[in-house]
Structure 1
Amino acid sequence: MATKTTIFLTGATGYIGGAVLARLLSHPSASTFDITVLVRNAEKAKILESKFGVKAVVGNHAELDKVESLAENAHVVFELAESDNVPFIKAILSGLRKRHAKLGDLPILIHTSGTGLLTDDARGEYATETIYDDLNVEQYKAIPDTALHRDVDTLVINADVEGYARTYIVLPSTIYGIAKHPLTEAGVSNPHSIQIPTLIKAALARKRAGVVGKGKALWPDVHIDDIADLYIVLYDAIVANPEKVGHGWEGVFYGENGEHTWYQISKAIGEALVALGITTDPEPTPFTVEDFEKYFGGERWGWYSGTNSRCRANRARALGWKPKYTTEDMLKSIRPEVEVYAKKQ
Structure 2
Amino acid sequence: MVATAGKTVFLLGAGFVGQHVIEFLLESKYAVTTIVRKEEIAAKLEKAGVKAILGTLDDHELITSQVAEHEVTINTSSSDDLPSVQAILAGVRKRVVQDLPITFIHTSGAGVMIDDARGRYKTDKVYRDDDPADIDALPPTAIHRDVDLAIVEAAREFGAKARVAIVIPPVVYGFNSNHNRLSMALPVLVKFALKHGFSGRVGEGRNVWGSVHVADLGRVYPTLVEHLGSEPSSALVENPYFFAENGTEFSWKEAAEKIGQILYKLGKIPSPETKAWEPSDLKHVIGPATEIYFGGNSRSVGTRLPKMGWVPREKDIWASLEEDEIPYMIATQI
Q: TM-score range by the shorter chain?
A: over 0.9
Q: 2:309 pairs with 315, 320, 325, which one?
A: 320
The one-letter amino acid paired with 1:166 is R
Which aligned runs of 4 or more in structure 1 are off by greater than 6 angstroms? none
The yes-or-no answer on 1:339 pairing with 2:330 is no
The yes-or-no answer on 1:178 pairing with 2:175 is yes
Unaligned segments of structure 2, at least 5 residues: none
The one-letter amino acid paired with 2:191 is K
Q: Is the 8 A contact 1:208 1:273 kept in 2?
A: no
The 1-side partners of 2:73 and 2:93 are apart by 13
Q: 1:330 pairs with 282, 304, 317, which one?
A: 317
Coordinate RMSD, CA, aligned: 1.7
Aligned to 1:191: 181
The one-letter amino acid paired with 1:332 is A
Q: 2:72 pairs with 61, 65, 76, which one?
A: 76
The one-letter amino acid paired with 1:115 is A
Q: Is the 8 A contact 2:103 2:225 kept in 1?
A: no
| Alignment TM-score, normalising by the size of structure 2 | 0.93
Cα displacement (A) at 1:338? 2.1
Aligned to 1:46: 43
SS of match in other structure, 1:148 = coil
The one-letter amino acid paired with 1:317 is P
Cα displacement (A) at 1:344? 3.0
The yes-or-no answer on 1:214 pairing with 2:207 is no
Cα displacement (A) at 1:302? 4.4
The one-letter amino acid paired with 2:308 is L
SS of match in other structure, 2:172 = strand
Q: Is the 8 A contact 1:67 1:88 kept in 2?
A: yes
CA separation of 1:47 and 1:165: change in aligned 2, threshold 3 A: same
Q: Is the 8 A contact 1:35 1:54 kept in 2?
A: yes
The 2-side partners of 1:143 and 1:54 are apart by 38
The one-letter amino acid paired with 1:280 is P
CA separation of 1:280 and 1:85: change in aligned 2, threshold 3 A: same
Q: Is the 8 A contact 1:39 1:59 kept in 2?
A: yes
| Alignment TM-score, normalising by the size of structure 1 | 0.90
Cα displacement (A) at 1:233? 1.6
The 2-side partners of 1:5 and 1:342 are apart by 42
The one-letter amino acid paired with 1:19 is H
The 2-side partners of 1:160 and 1:226 are apart by 26
Aligned to 1:273: 263
Give aligned pairs, total: 326
Aligned to 1:25: 26
Aligned to 1:118: 113
Q: Is the 8 A contact 2:22 2:32 kept in 1?
A: no
Aligned to 1:57: 53
Unaligned segments of structure 1, at least 5 residues: none
The one-letter amino acid paired with 2:255 is I
Cα displacement (A) at 1:115? 0.6
Q: 1:287 pairs with 257, 277, 284, which one?
A: 277
SS of match in other structure, 2:176 = coil
Q: 2:134 pairs with 124, 131, 139, which one?
A: 139
The 2-side partners of 1:270 and 1:86 are apart by 38
Percent of aligned pairs sharing the same letter: 34
Aligned to 1:37: 34
The 1-side partners of 2:322 and 2:197 are apart by 15
Aligned to 1:92: 88
Q: Is the 8 A contact 2:167 2:241 kept in 1?
A: yes
The yes-or-no answer on 1:165 pairing with 2:162 is yes
SS of match in other structure, 1:117 = helix
The 2-side partners of 1:157 and 1:333 are apart by 34
Q: Is the 8 A contact 2:244 2:305 kept in 1?
A: yes
- Which shows bigger deviation, 171-180 or 307-316? 171-180
SS of match in other structure, 1:9 = strand
CA separation of 1:234 and 1:245: change in aligned 2, threshold 3 A: farther
